[in-house]
Chain A
Amino acid sequence: MFKNKLVLPGLTWISLFLLIPCIIIFTYSFFERGVYGGIEYNFNLENYVRSFKWTYFKILLTSGQIAFLAASISVLIAFPAAYCITKANPKYQILLLFFMMLPFWSNYLIRTYSWMVLLNNQGLINNLLIYIGLIDEPIRLLYTKFSVIVGLVYNYLPFVVLSIYASLSTMNKEIIEASEDLGGNFFDTLIRVIIPLSLPGILAGFIFVFVLSVGNFITPDLLGGGKFLMIGNLIYDQFLSARDWPFGSSLSLILVTIMLSLLFIQSLILARKKL
């Protein structure tokens, strides 16, 4: 009984302050936009038909691609970092995590501005590359998919480190030593022991970056120069610029459905991998 009650406060909070309000909004997706942006209550499925336009599908694909790349790169960078932190003196582990988060107590907007300063044609990075002779002419770094991905990886990397750290530090040293004693070299140990054991953290981190990136609307705007519309921008614009809540709701509902399906695929994979 006790175990069942544990989930109650959290679930109640989420249901009360998220599910119920959102269900109200989602019912709008079956109605129409009023002339000046209100809701006309005549039931129809036009918004869903509209959602399957090629343009929106393309936006969804672009977002998926950018978010997937950002999440994969973040995991690749964060995993070794989290591993190094768990190997550090326990006294300093929390401190290292703290310093990893510290830059993010500035502000999203101005961090993004500073990437604009670093990546532009006369920016630090282009100048550095020219100085060391790798390139002769400045290369276009800013306002490309590359810069969007850099911005996303930068802003979400620490979250991945945190979640991988949380699962990696479960592992007791004996397991790793045992594997090494059995003659496994470092890479064997890594692939057969460490990565499988930290898989929950890696997946959680991947999901964080993926979902936060898909819904992001500031980075594509500033670092992508607005040239790549992501699903987050599209939904934001429907609710605010176009004042078309019904269409915005139908797009969001589709997005939520896709993400939930991905979640279940992920949990299936995890269930299969379970020792």
Chain B
Amino acid sequence: MRKLVYLIMPFLFFAWGTAKSDLVVSNWDGYSPPDIMDTFAASTGFEGEMSFHATNEEIMGKVVASKGAGYDVLFVSSPFAEALNELGLLATINHSKIPNMKNLDSWSMNLDFDLGNQFQVPYAWGTTGICYRSDLVSEEPTSWNHLLNPPLDLHGKVTMLSTDRWLLSAGMLSLGFSVNETDPAKLDMVKDVLISAKQNLLSYDDTTFYSKLVSGEAVMAHAWDGWCNYATWENPDVKFVVPSEGSDLWVDTMVILKGSKNMDAAHAFINYILDENIGAWTIENILYKTPNKAAMEKTIPGLVDAFPNMGYSAQYLSSMETLKDVGDATKLYATTVADILAD
């Protein structure tokens, strides 16, 4: 026993690698300017550091298990922001400390999961649709059914997203249901549609579908608009379409954790991100649309020719249904997805 105490002692004294700054932000790598923390410090005097998460699910799991200790600001997608808020982990946004809120498009400030930005500030947004090689398809896809039941020559050349919400919403939209549908009977129908769609898939793919499109391994992919732009960047024949049945609006948000020790720094950071020039960097470098109206006006004219989906207006985007946390039905969603993937 004594031996063990000796072994652990050094760790307690030299707590390696523990954060010592005013502000800790967690984001996906590559989603904001690489030197953001340095320029933020130069402009506001707050020393911060950026750490990274791989997926919404992981940072959410970590924050829930640790009650949010250590982090101040997180970048997460809207259903996760909503759930974090319901779990009581988020601070209320103090609008008076974020003057750059004025740069936000008014459409983005009244999204139905958070009217008036109580607990989140939108960072980037977009929609989900079909990303395809216009030079390799015989007819341009226009409907979700095209993806779920592709023409014979595309069998084995289609990929779909496998993240619970988006996989299900492809089936829901094709049947004309809401993307937040919770009726078990309707979900059963969705399940059948998606199981039969599985026969013609190359693979489920959430992360590398755009490189499959560029190499021609896949011809049609269920994709988020911003990621589709990466394929278009490599090969202009890659196009994006929102199916006629409509689609969802996804929003990546910034939230402040309730346990944050430095609310001023956290608000200052969000304010800094909403700055016109930082916003312009974001749009030009990650090719995602943002609700930062000032930055959009500055950059979009130069991008819209090469990446037509960058031209979708805020009004158009906000006409789509947002994904909401479905509460107890999450269990049903998970079971349905397991049934589909295991079939």
Which of A's residues lie within 8 Å of B, judged by CB? 8-9, 12-13, 33, 35-38, 55-56, 58-59, 62, 113, 116, 120-122, 140, 142-143, 221-222, 224-229, 233-234, 237-244, 247
Contact = CB atoms under 8 A, between A and B. Distances in A.
B87 interface: yes
Interface string B139-183: 000000000000000001001001110000000000000000000
Given A55-B339, A225-B159, 7 more contacts: A121-B217, A225-B204, A227-B201, A241-B163, A244-B331, A244-B334, A247-B331
Contacts of B342: 55-56, 58-59, 62, 229
B64 A37 contact: yes
B203 A143 contact: yes
B215 A120 contact: yes
B164 A242 contact: yes
6 contacts: A8-B4, A12-B4, A35-B328, A36-B325, A38-B64, A227-B341
Interface in B47-72: 55, 57-58, 60-61, 64
Most buried by B among A62, A116, A229: A229
Nearest first, the 5 closest Cβ-Cβ pairs linking A and B are A225-B203, A226-B204, A242-B334, A240-B57, A36-B86
Contact of A238 (B203, B334, B341): B334
A243 B60 contact: yes
B333 A242 contact: yes
B43 interface: no
Interface string B68-81: 00000000000000
A38 B87 contact: yes
Contacts of A242: 164, 330-331, 333-334
Nearest to A230: B342
Contacts of B328: 33, 35
Nearest to B332: A242
B208 interface: yes
Contact of A226 (B1, B3, B203, B327): B203
Contacts, number: 106
Contacts of A13: 4, 7
B3 A37 contact: no
Interface of B: 1, 3-4, 7, 55, 57-58, 60-61, 64, 83, 86-87, 156, 159, 162-164, 198, 201-205, 207-208, 215-217, 325, 327-328, 330-331, 333-335, 337-339, 341-342
Contacts of B1: 8, 12
A226 B202 contact: no
B41 to A, nearest CB: 31
A223 to B, nearest CB: 9
B3 A122 contact: no
Nearest to A243: B330
Nearest to B64: A37
Nearest to A36: B86
Nearest to A35: B327
A56 B334 CA distance: 12
B217 A240 contact: no
A9 B204 CA distance: 45
Contacts of B64: 37-38, 243
A8 B5 CA distance: 12
Contact of A237 (B60, B215, B216, B334): B334
B341 A116 contact: no
A63 to B, nearest CB: 10
A237 B338 contact: yes
B60 A120 contact: no
B162 to A, nearest CB: 5
Most buried by A among B325, B338, B341, B342: B342
B208 A222 contact: yes
Contacts of B3: 8-9
A37 B162 contact: no
A247 B333 CA distance: 14
Contacts of A221: 162, 204
A244 B330 contact: yes
B292 to A, nearest CB: 29
Nearest to B58: A240
B260 to A, nearest CB: 20
Given A12-B1, A116-B208, A122 B338 contact: no
Contact of A37 (B201, B203, B330, B341): B330
Most buried by A among B83, B162, B205, B328: B162
Nearest to B216: A122
A1 to B, nearest CB: 14
Contacts of B202: 143, 225
A113 B338 CA distance: 25
Nearest to B217: A120
Contacts of A224: 203
A36 B333 contact: no
Given A8-B1, A242-B164, A243-B60, A36 B87 contact: yes
A241 B57 contact: yes
Most buried by B among A35, A59, A121, A238: A35
Contacts of B164: 237, 241-242
B338 to A, nearest CB: 6
A122 B3 CA distance: 57
A119 to B, nearest CB: 11
